[in-house]
Structure 1
């Protein structure tokens, strides 16, 4: 018995000696197979009138894997003629599609939702390869929400009389939709699902750095038997998007992207009869009071700014922490940031993947350098970055004032600016001191404080003791330079109805 006890003690000592310093566990690689994404063609045209067609022009763009910088495929640069063909196809399909009973349109949306669920692994891997975000996010967040949006709006298709927009509301016609690169498939679902449910037809332009899941969605439309021309996808850069939003036979424009481009579209459509919704940039405040549960708040802060590499318009990029708990909170936050794993997006253990493009990495780098130059103190955990691809360490700045660029401008990367406050009134004033108004977060145990703060904050979405939580039944959108209009929920129907 004594010998057995000695052996157990020696084994325990050996295990303790082998344990990583600091008590942190290491994780063996858990890679997802890139082959699960299915076949990626060497080149793609447009999806118009239910068919994949060549572009009328000869210019082609390339999409690359941001984690490796390897070219994935070439795709067509959409011309004015391509946009004309797509809008014409959508206009032709509108007559029959809008005349279908809502219950019949719902069948197609339900079918699309089920196919997305069946092909979710394929779509998640393809999204991670093309976008750079971790597979655990595309698998566990993006794809379930994509399917949920189609399921949700399928349920509304035959209940539009009860949506609160009058009896027998009518669709607008052809919707021109332009989506960004940070959530390519999810933003597609946010726009296409309500448009189809309400009887509109669609011409969609995906972002020029992430077109692949939109083109794969075109295959899903054919698999679901969607009538030809109901959904059309034209690829290209901003020139193609401008041609689409300016087309005279487009009745509705929906845009998600940067504030400067949204402002340009608003000017372009001023005086026209086109309906417009804009979901633009943000500089959200994540506000932590002294009675907040520190560990829970730290997880919310990390999710608020480092989810999807900070490529989130509603990211909690400004941390407002009550002065009395600043040191305690920052110590806990730095410890947590030290555990974040940066690397291969297809590794299921990765927390922070690749920055989407070289241009975006340059933007993040430039603004971070400006933060240091203006006197803020920069901190980032030690971590080894891959040799190829576009990468940026999770970073926080302390000693930030409201005049600093990093506190005013949208960085759209994994960079957190920390400011302090003493009273709730000061917190509100600092949170609202921005041209944006998309989202905010509040961390406190007092329900009355949450309600008071939510009423004072000029933000379209306010989270309480959580952050970055989305649901298809809940509307999303902003104020001021964060745009106007709402997507999601019953409110998301209004953008596609003639009311």
Structure 2
């Protein structure tokens, strides 16, 4: 794949020459924010990447007004859906053309290894805009069979102005999962990226304008959650709010909705995903390797990370030893080195939070099998960490850590495994390893999770929906079902 053969030194050279966009993108133009701005700091070395425009109520107001005009008066929602689709396909091509630059921005701003940023993050973003670009114009409305003297039509119409608030761990993937279906449906969007990772989102906004999206259709405003995020959540000109992040902030957006215009709020929140390995797993070595990959991929900063490894007692030591060996062998280092498998955590504040969970686990009596300490280097690096002898009541087993920390719990039968898996306030994802088809069906249905992977983990494509149950949120990203969040059903009854 072009770009993946770039050397470490070449990536360093590209980083040194990088000049990122730093202004809000509103109504098709780059606009400054309030005086001062804020620093975007790279967790790679603690250095400042850029001073970015800081947005608050005023900037959010400008962006919502632009999106409102574009929706109420502009061509976007009135275009033939296939024409909107062609614009999204042009945007996908521009993202592909700027793939190296965008991957570099993602790697620098949040610490993702450059190989993953290029091959996984950008592939997902490009694929999402292409998929919804191709889907636009292929959806059908309904004409139910009613009395012979009437005609009934059920149509899906764009919901209006969408506020999209996305986190730092997959800054382009998660933005594309919300922006692409909203645009395909005919909505206009105000995107607020995390203050930790605004650079790639600003680039996305500029590319959307270059692709021919009319002014105001996609706006990007930088700023923190308590100011810009709150202003977006409370704004009466926003019809739909889509958020990915923590449960605590998700609750705030529900309050903002109640305190403003009762805008619809769609939430994809945290997870404490179980990964169940039964003794009849078809390939125990593959199960252990996948368990390690799943929890350490993206530095463990992933809502679906299989952070609870539930293993049958008869194979617990074998599996734990294999996962521990993999944790110790993982290449942790400079995210701009293509050989790096795990980069730094998102910053010092987040690293300290994860270390606090590790200290609490040790104090509670869990056994530390690997890692558990920061790497003495410039940047926010942590050694991949494995605990066993974890009890269900420990914080390690209950709270989302959002870091490369695995907790191993032991069970004696399938019923106990299901009970342990479901003993969490979250319900985003789960894994199951078994060679028995009946067990696979029975346990998958018993698990309270939006996605269950059987004999794999983190597999799938854009044809399948993604989202959670319980306190992991509501609504779905990906697939045709994502359009439901950004459309309204209208019934038209015509008496003949």
The alignment's TM-score, normalised by the length of structure 2, stands at: 0.91
Is residue 466 from structure 1 mapped to residue 421 from structure 2 by the alignment? no
CA distance in 2, matches of 1:204, 1:475: 21
CA distance in 2, matches of 1:467, 1:484: 21
Alpha-carbon spacing, 1:164–1:399, altered in 2? closer, same or farther (3 Å)? farther
CA distance in 2, matches of 1:190, 1:309: 21
Alpha-carbon spacing, 1:407–1:79, altered in 2? closer, same or farther (3 Å)? same
RMSD of aligned C-alpha atoms?
1.9
Shift of 1:354: 0.6
Equivalent position to 1:247, from 225, 230, 235: 235
Answer yes or no: is the 8 Å Cα contact 2:240–2:263 preserved in 1: yes
Alignment correspondent of 1:413: 403
Equivalent position to 1:200, from 184, 187, 206: 187
Answer yes or no: is the 8 Å Cα contact 2:358–2:372 preserved in 1: no
Unpaired segments ≥5 residues, structure 2: 1-6, 145-152, 490-496
Alpha-carbon spacing, 1:401–1:72, altered in 2? closer, same or farther (3 Å)? same
CA distance in 2, matches of 1:380, 1:331: 10
Alpha-carbon spacing, 1:283–1:206, altered in 2? closer, same or farther (3 Å)? same
Unpaired segments ≥5 residues, structure 1: 1-28
Shift of 1:32: 5.0
Alignment correspondent of 1:20: none
Partner deviation per Cα, 1:296-315 (whole Å, 9 max, x = no partner): 10121012100100000011
Shift of 1:286: 0.5
Alignment correspondent of 1:268: 256
1:474 match: secondary structure: coil
Equivalent position to 1:437, from 427, 431, 434: 427
Shift of 1:496: 0.2
1:44 match: secondary structure: coil
Alignment correspondent of 1:147: 126
Equivalent position to 2:275, from 271, 286, 290: 286
Shift of 1:73: 0.3
CA distance in 1, matches of 2:10, 2:488: 45
Alpha-carbon spacing, 1:34–1:199, altered in 2? closer, same or farther (3 Å)? farther
Alignment correspondent of 1:50: 28
Answer yes or no: is the 8 Å Cα contact 2:371–2:386 preserved in 1: no
Shift of 1:469: 2.2
Alignment correspondent of 2:330: 340
Alignment correspondent of 1:226: 213
Equivalent position to 1:65, from 38, 42, 52: 42
Greater shift in the superposed pair: 304-313 or 32-41: 32-41
Shift of 1:216: 1.0
Partner deviation per Cα, 1:369-390 (whole Å, 9 max, x = no partner): 0000011111225999352000
Answer yes or no: is the 8 Å Cα contact 1:251–1:275 preserved in 2: yes
Matched positions, count: 470
The alignment's TM-score, normalised by the length of structure 1, stands at: 0.91
Answer yes or no: is the 8 Å Cα contact 1:367–1:405 preserved in 2: yes
Is residue 33 from structure 1 mapped to residue 11 from structure 2 by the alignment? yes
Instruction: Please list, as runs of the form range in 1=range in 2, the aligned pairs for 1:42-441 lying within 5 A after superposition.
Output: 44-55=22-33, 57-94=34-71, 95=73, 96-161=75-140, 167-238=154-225, 239-270=227-258, 272-292=261-281, 293-380=283-370, 385=375, 387-441=377-431
CA distance in 1, matches of 2:396, 2:411: 18
Alpha-carbon spacing, 1:131–1:283, altered in 2? closer, same or farther (3 Å)? same
Shift of 1:162: 5.5
